[in-house]
Structure 1
């Protein structure tokens, strides 16, 4: 089989290796789709702080089971599936208290351990979730980023009936906003400096799409949510200006969920955080129940994923996909690698 290996920033080699043998508790998956995310792009640029080279990427995937280990139950050959890419120790405090997503020794496939950018991939069956009939391989590869959004929203209290502000309309921000609606939020507003991304959000049914360069954010909040503004704010960009916006426009007692990955240290006005009793809440990845909820929302058509998929590239054109993302910048949302048709 062929495996894509990023040997150094911006360089990918395709190597012929044997199809992996599976253990008694594993399944062999024929990989169909791989989604490229923002963290993958950091690896492409050599700026990911926790990834070395060579590395096999691929953590947003869908595929089909072609072989089962002797101990595997609940799955069968031919099932369409997706995979949870975390590798955790099971021994540390978070793991033994039901929070393996923040394991002290956490590794993620495609970053600190081998990812799924191969024609076939062997993995522990416990990490595999079946995709119900009617969910496409494209949608299956987007379960992972959708689970990021679901987990982020669950870091606060129940959002049913709440007014939610999402800062950043990239793929994750868009999925956070859609998930908020799908999980019962009364109204959702999303912001971005890119009118193109705001247009995608509008196509996905987000209630209010605001460019803060053209409309004062506080005024927009009052206009669309009323004088009490947002009940919950989610920062999905990872830069100083947006976390500053979140703190400045929050009403007293608001939760601010920090979803964006910050590449640099930021200056936060902790005086406002203290005085207003704001809560800054971090979120990292997901757990199995978040995957299950994400799959449920796709099945029930509570989220619209097709408008986010910008382009497809064949497996052998993996590098061209990155070059496309570089050229398109704000116009590239979710780019898919088609490993098999």
Structure 2
């Protein structure tokens, strides 16, 4: 079978390796689709701090089970599935207290261990989540980023009827906004500096979309939510400007949740954070329950994934996909790799 390998930043080759066989607790998945995310792009540019080369990528995937191990009982050949890419120890404090997404020795397929960018992939059955047959393989490959969004929204607790602001209208910001809406938020505002991404947010049913190059974030919050402002602000951009906006314009005593991976050390006004008694929270990946909820939201047609699908590339054109993303940053949301039909 063919396996993708990023040998160095900006360099990809394909190697022919033996087909995997399922061990007792494993299944072999025929990989169909792979999504490229922002972290993958960091690896492509040589800017991911926790990834070494060579590395086989691929962590947003969908596929079909083609073999099951002798001890696998809850999965079957022919089943449509996605895979949770976390590799955790199961022994540390977070793992033994239901928070394996925070494992002290956490590794993620495609970054610190072998990813799924290959025609076949053997994986422990516990990491495999069945997909409804009516979901397409394209949608299946986007369950992983949607699970990120679901977990982030859930970090705020019950948001029913609340006013929610999301800074950043990229794929994760869009999905956070959609998930908040789907989970009962009263009104949702999303901001960005790209009219294209804001247009996609509106297409996905988000109430308000504002370009903060043209309009002050605080003014937008006051217009759409009134003097009570936002109940929760999600920072899905992750830089000093966006976190600064969140801190400056949050209602006193409200909550800010950092979703994006912050690039470098932060330089923000902690004095205001303290003086306004703001709850600054964070979110890290997802757990199985977030995958299940994400799938249910798509199945119930409460999340629109197709407007986020920008372009498809064949498996052997993986490198061209990255070049396309670099050349079309503003208008690109999610690029999908078609591994097999």
Same fold (TM over 0.5): yes
1:232-243 superposed matches below 5 A: 232-243=232-243
* 2:261 aligned residue: 261
Q: Deviations over 1:258-288 (max 9, x none)?
A: 0011112121211111111101111110000
Matched, 1:316 2:316: yes
Q: What SS does the aligned partner of 1:329 have?
A: coil
2: CA distance, partners of 1:16 / 1:41: 24
1:120-159 superposed matches below 5 A: 120-159=120-159
Task: Note the C-alpha offset of 1:215.
Answer: 1.7
Q: What SS does the aligned partner of 1:325 have?
A: helix
Q: What SS does the aligned partner of 1:165 have?
A: strand
Task: Note the C-alpha offset of 1:156.
Answer: 1.4
Task: Note the C-alpha offset of 1:12.
Answer: 0.5
Q: Deviations over 1:170-208 (max 9, x none)?
A: 000000000000111111000000001001101101000
TM-score by length of 2: 0.99
- Kept in 1, the 8 Å contact 2:192–2:198? The answer is yes
* 1:56 aligned residue: 56
Q: What SS does the aligned partner of 1:6 have?
A: strand
Q: What SS does the aligned partner of 1:226 have?
A: helix
1: CA distance, partners of 2:262 / 2:273: 19
1: CA distance, partners of 2:133 / 2:23: 27
Q: Deviations over 1:119-139 (max 9, x none)?
A: 000000000000012110000
* 1:174 aligned residue: 174
Where structure 2 has 5 or more consecutive residues not aligned to the other structure, the ranges are none
Where structure 1 has 5 or more consecutive residues not aligned to the other structure, the ranges are none
Task: Note the C-alpha offset of 1:8.
Answer: 0.4
2: CA distance, partners of 1:138 / 1:160: 30
Range 153-162 or range 317-326, more displaced: 153-162
1: CA distance, partners of 2:311 / 2:210: 25
Structure 1 runs of 4+ with >4 Å offset? none
* 2:286 aligned residue: 286
1: CA distance, partners of 2:316 / 2:236: 31
* 2:296 aligned residue: 296
- Kept in 1, the 8 Å contact 2:218–2:245? The answer is no
1:1-341 superposed matches below 5 A: 1-341=1-341
Q: Deviations over 1:200-248 (max 9, x none)?
A: 1011010000011212222211211111010000000111100000001
Range 162-171 or range 66-75, more displaced: 66-75
Note the aligned Cα RMSD (angstroms).
0.6
Task: Note the C-alpha offset of 1:154.
Answer: 1.1
Q: What SS does the aligned partner of 1:54 have?
A: coil
Task: Note the C-alpha offset of 1:77.
Answer: 0.7
Task: Note the C-alpha offset of 1:306.
Answer: 0.2
1: CA distance, partners of 2:234 / 2:163: 11
1: CA distance, partners of 2:195 / 2:92: 45
